[in-house]
Chains A and B, each alone.
Chain A
Amino acid sequence: MIPTAFDYVAPTSLEDALSALAEAGDDAKVLGGGQSLLPVLRLRLNAPEKIVDLSRIDSLRGISDDGDTIVIGAMTTHDEVARSELVREHAAVLAEAASTVADPQIRHRGTLGGALVHADPAGDLGAPVLALDAELVVVGAGGERRIPAGEFFQDLFETAVGEGELLTAIRIPKHTGWGGAYEKFVRVSHQWSIVAVAAVTRDGEAKVALTNMGSTPLRASAVESAIADGASVKDAAAKAAEGTNPPSDLNGDSDYRAHLATVLTRRALARAMGG
């Protein structure tokens, strides 16, 4: 189908983008890479009056080294994240997760910032960003604020980005020398994760986050505490579903997802630890 008619602007600066958004208010939608938004518009699940396309704002794209942190512009594509030497060295689990998003054509267009703000619970970028303790930089009329990943995801398709605000960058503390693994389970190639697990580890320490085990990405705190207390990978992974409320749908019911989370957590921890 063809989307309903809308006005379109493609500002070339962040300031212009913020004023375009402020002007349009509720009726505007922000276009990142468009790989989730355009299907939604085509199916007429949403009919915004105005589209603000961020793809002509050069400052929102690219990956840079900022001391102890790497900074990824919100409009950087999944393909660029997956290939980046900086990301592979300092945040390997994010590069791996980005390389599993959908298919190559989608990864050439889809953006890290767009995927995070879309906040589909089955999306693959939330869990690694959460496991890596990233900060999300959001800019609005009132200036810039940095939101910890743990406070960014609020519910299904809902984030802490307020009206008139834009996610501009993702700041990731370097995890140089840490092991990382993203274990994802799908029944059909290039589909959304039924469940996936991001693990980042070093001696006696693990950070683990879950994809599609609730309405937002979740930290598997029980697994992390168990590893810190010296539990085996097998015993720690058995706690992966503790405190979660996974959805039931055509791909699997809640109990099945809870089981998958333990299996995938075991695999992710073992691989991240080099086993």
Chain B
Amino acid sequence: MPRISVKVDGVTYSDDVEPRTLLVHYLRETLGKVGTVIGCDTSNCGACTVHLDGRSVKSCNVLAVQADGREVTTIEGLATNGRLHPMQQAFHDCHALQCGFCTPGMIMQAVDLVTENPNASEAEIREGMEGNLCRCTGYHNIVKAVQQGASATASAAGGEQS
């Protein structure tokens, strides 16, 4: 079995993996990072979204061997020093979930979206989140949360600079 070395949420892991192991299975079953969930079998739902070298990907659609030498951030790596990431806080504040199953993927995609486009309009947010399905909320509070998360992220970044 090939040996891979991957940095996940800031920690480097080395493991032997079968080539057919999906990244999401490696994260959940080998590393125990069960914050990343599996919602579908078709790469439609986006629940398993993580960042691979800083960009959002569906981790059910990447082989673990493809992540060799690369860096992965999961929902479990967003909070710092016990404080929620502004986007996590925004989802909490805006009640942007009901059952919560889609939430890890939603938040990871939302962070990618606002990093790329800090001033995204409502239409751009809806389009930027099109790869993430929620079967409970009707999306309205998710869009509000992404808007709040965007401004909170921007002001947090501004605060660091000043």
Binding site for B on A (CB under 8 A): 1-8, 10, 31, 34-35, 38-39, 41-43, 51, 53, 55, 79, 102-106, 108-109, 189-190
Q: In the complex, A173 Cα to B66 Cα: how many Å?
A: 33
Q: Which of B2, B25, B41, B57 has the most CB of A within 10 A?
A: B57
- Chain B residue total in the interface (Cβ 8 A): 32
User: Given A6-B19, A53-B66, are A42 and B60 neighbors across the interface (CB < 8 Å)?
Assistant: yes
**A105 CB contact (under 8 Å) in B42, B49, B65:** B49
B140 within 8 Å of A (CB atoms): no
Q: Mark B32-50, 1 if CB is under 8 A from A, else 0.
A: 0000000001111010010
CB pair B19–A109 under 8 Å, yes or no, is no
CB-CB < 8 A to B52: which residues of A? 108
Tell me the smallest distance from the CB of A54 to a CB of chain B, in Å: 11
Tell me the smallest distance from the CB of A67 to a CB of chain B, in Å: 32
Task: Return the chain B residue nearest A83 by Cβ.
Answer: B116
Q: In the complex, A103 Cα to B68 Cα: how many Å?
A: 24
User: Given A2-B22, A39-B42, are A103 and B62 neighbors across the interface (CB < 8 Å)?
Assistant: no
Q: Which of B18, B21, B68 has the most CB of A within 10 A?
A: B18
CB pair B65–A34 under 8 Å, yes or no, is no
Tell me the smallest distance from the CB of B8 to a CB of chain A, in Å: 18
Binding site for A on B (CB under 8 A): 2, 18-22, 25, 41-44, 46, 49, 52, 55-58, 60-63, 65-66, 68, 109, 112-113, 128, 130-132
Task: Return the chain A residue nearest B128 by Cβ.
Answer: A104
CB-CB < 8 A to B42: which residues of A? 39, 43
CB-CB < 8 A to B56: which residues of A? 104-105, 108
CB pair A105–B109 under 8 Å, yes or no, is yes
8 residue pairs of the A-B complex, CB under 8 angstroms, read A10-B65, A31-B63, A38-B60, A39-B42, A41-B20, A109-B57, A109-B61, A109-B62
Q: In the complex, A2 Cα to B46 Cα: how many Å?
A: 18
User: Given A103-B46, A106-B58, are A1 and B41 neighbors across the interface (CB < 8 Å)?
Assistant: yes
Q: In the complex, A217 Cα to B131 Cα: how many Å?
A: 25
CB pair B20–A39 under 8 Å, yes or no, is no
**B63 CB contact (under 8 Å) in A38, A102, A105:** A38
Tell me the smallest distance from the CB of B65 to a CB of chain A, in Å: 6
CB pair B20–A189 under 8 Å, yes or no, is no
Tell me the smallest distance from the CB of B79 to a CB of chain A, in Å: 22
CB pair B55–A108 under 8 Å, yes or no, is yes
